[in-house]
Structure 1
Amino acid sequence: MTPQHDTIPGPAPRIEAFADRLLRVRRPPVDTLTKGETEISLLVTAPGSWPDGAEIRVNLRRRGDGPNVLLVHGWEGAPSDFTVISDKLVAAGFSLWSPDLPGHGRSDGERLSIPLAARVLHAVAAEAGSFALALGHSIGGACLVHALAGGLAVERVVLLATPTRYGSFVRFASAQAGLKGLAVEALMELLHDLIGEHPDWIDMRRQAAAMQKPALFVHSTDDRIVSFTAAKEVASIWRGAQWMAVNGLGHGRLLGDADVVARVIAFACTG
């Protein structure tokens, strides 16, 4: 009798559907342009076996004159999420570059991954040049750090309510959906194929250990979407990083909080 060995099954319909659910975006309303803002269209090559096609057209918005600042919105977010910070940065003499990530705003596609977003940020840099400052909110911060690990030229970094471990998120979501054991491993391998990297490798703890750029982390203690503790751990690994803990601002309200905005602008203007 031939011994039986456990093997990871091929993608079953349920696993394929769940992978698509993890990547698919419910497109938010399209932002209106701010006075003085212009748009540029970029073509970005997608990593992996991306279901929206090998190339994605991305909309990029530019505003202001001066040293370059990159703004990276979160999942189902928009550049307008940074309005309060953006206005202050323009007034301080910076030029803002804000992509609509794939599946958002005026960009094409229906899905988003961290490796794809990192490709977008490199394409923005090819258009804009290096950045004096880059800000990322929520998963936009994870996308930004992924791009930094790939060589994106940025002098200073601000990470607001940023998730840190994509693999852990996928495993938690899988458990919530009732997937376990070999089904979870099959999901991870399918995502590896789709997005071009294994989810467990997208881990900010590993990336932060190699970072030396000045960084400011901001996180609210009552954030119910992204772990405060996990973000604080990454800040402790990132050499010389500043940590700003706030209270009562949840996941998104910190973007308009006067104290947070003042700290971000002061950090931007340092050096």
Structure 2
Amino acid sequence: MTNLSPPQSAPTDPVLQAAQQVLRVKPSPPRAWPTGTVSTTFDIEAPAGWPDGPRVPVTLHRRGEGPAVLLVHGWQSQAADLMPLGDALIAAGFSVWAPDLPGHGHSGGQHLAIPQAANALREIGRLAGPFALAIGHSYGGASLVHALAQGLAVQRVVLLAAPTHYGQFVRLAARQRGLDAAQTEALLARLHEVTGEHPDRIDMARQAEALSAPALLMHSADDTVVPAAGLHAVAQRWRGARWHPLEGLGHFRLLDDPGVLQTIRRFAAESPPPAALSAAAA
């Protein structure tokens, strides 16, 4: 596997710089959690050559009692940013399990790729799952679907403003850095080598064809960070998915919008999960 940290004497490599841009996180300072939150830290394995080393510590926060809900935050965000959503679900009788993904919040490391985020979610599934509901925002939504495609057990799914194709995300980063076609292909190959999966294989539209859990897909038409068209297309290919378009909420305002929170609460309560899915039982 290729390490992303070249020798100091090595010439500047635009492909290497772009790979670092795609993987390097610039997070905000960790936020405090309310009294009564139970936070635990565990390690996940990283692929050979991963810039943060062979193991990365991940912190998981738990609040409330009742059926377990997994909350997954987005890129350069953290689990605490989903507190309004967590509070609404706790009030509805659920417990919330919210990890800080690697490189974010209270977790260790400085880098993240969707395969590593999905690895963390699958490990949480082994610790606390199966989940009555899982909710992913933005990059966290893409990571959640990747984990579902690899066996994470979830009864119902909510995606909020999620991007749908990791390869396209990488190509955007390549264009922003002025890489030509050959350099872009080299970048995709470099990330394949470092993460263990080719970015073009992380395609939610393809993954959705094999998923059947009831799903609620929500995206605002005025989102300038992630266009809504991709998630809308996924909704057409996911059996049991429900498309819920939004207006005027951008990429982040939907996280604490009262109407969005109420819609998610109703969706979560449509089919009460069995007691076996409760956090206490887990």
Alignment TM class, shorter chain as reference: over 0.9
**Which residue number in structure 1 is paired with residue 235 of structure 2?**
235
What is the deviation of 1:213? 0.3
Gaps of 5+ in 1: 1-10
Shift of 1:168: 1.2
1:144 matches 2:152? no
What is the match of residue 253 of structure 2?
253
Alpha-carbon distance in 2 for matches of 1:252, 1:98: 18
Distance 2:209 2:13 in 1: 38
> For residues 48 and 210 of structure 2, what CA distance do their matches in structure 1 show?
25
Query: For 2:261 and 2:106, how far apart are their aligned partners in 1?
Result: 27
Check conservation: 2:33, 2:80, Cα contact below 8 A.
no
Q: Where does residue 186 of structure 2 map in the other structure?
A: 186
CA distance in 2 between partners of 1:100 and 1:88 (Å): 19
- Partner residue of 1:44? 44
Query: Aligned partners of 1:249, 1:48: CA distance in 2, in Å?
Result: 40
Deviates more, 1:167-176 or 1:245-254: 167-176
Task: Describe the superposition over 1:186-230 as per-residue Cα deviations: whole angstroms up to 9, x where unpaired.
Answer: 111100011110011110011001110000001000000101111
3-state SS of 1:222 partner: coil
Aligned mates of 1:263, 1:54 — CA distance in 2? 41
On the 8 A contact 1:42/1:123 being kept in 2, the answer is no
CA contact (8 A) 1:48 1:197 kept: no
Asked whether the equivalents of residues 136 and 158 of structure 1 are also in contact (C-alpha less than 8 Å), the reply is: yes
**1:181: Cα distance to partner?**
2.0
Regions of 4+ moved over 2 Å: none
In structure 2, distance between residues paired with 1:123 and 1:160 = 22
8 Å contact from structure 2 (residues 139, 162) kept in 1: yes
Partner Cα distance (1:38, 1:113) in 2: 26
Gaps of 5+ in 2: 1-10, 272-282
Question: Aligned AA for 1:66?
Answer: G
- Corresponding letter in the other structure for 1:123: E
Q: Distance in 2 between matches of 1:240 and 1:255?
A: 23
- 1:254 Cα deviation (Å)? 0.5
Q: Secondary structure at the match of 2:71?
A: strand
Aligned to 1:62: 62
SS in structure 1 opposite 2:69?
A: strand
Is the Cα–Cα contact under 8 Å of residues 164 and 205 in structure 1 kept in the other structure?
A: yes
Q: Secondary structure in 2 aligned to 1:217? A: strand
Structure 1 counterpart of 2:53? 53
Aligned residue for 1:200, secondary structure, equals helix
User: TM-score, normalised to structure 1's length?
Assistant: 0.94
Q: Write out aligned runs for 1:95-106 (5 A).
A: 95-106=95-106
Partner of 2:111: 111
Question: Which residue does 1:3 correspond to in 2?
Answer: none
Aligned residue number for residue 31 of structure 1: 31
Contact 1:62 1:97 in 2 (8 A): yes
Q: Secondary structure at 1:119's aligned position in 2?
A: helix
Q: How far 1:106 sits from its partner (Å)? A: 1.2
Q: Which residue identity is paired with 1:193?
A: E
Question: How many angstroms apart in 1 are the aligned matches of 2:17 and 2:153?
Answer: 37
Residues 109-149 of structure 1 show CA distances to partners (whole Å, capped at 9, x for unaligned) of: 00111000001001111211210000000000000000000
SS at match of 1:172: helix
- TM (norm. structure 2) is 0.90
- Amino acid aligned to 1:145: V
Once the 2 structures are TM-superposed, how far is the Cα of residue 95 of structure 1 from its aligned partner?
Answer: 1.1
- May I ask how many residue pairs the two structures share in their alignment? 261
How far apart, CA to CA, are the structure 1 residues paired with 2:12 and 2:79? Answer: 37
2:166 maps to 166
Further displaced range: 237-246 or 153-162? 237-246
Farther-moved stretch of structure 1 (214-223 vs 177-186): 177-186
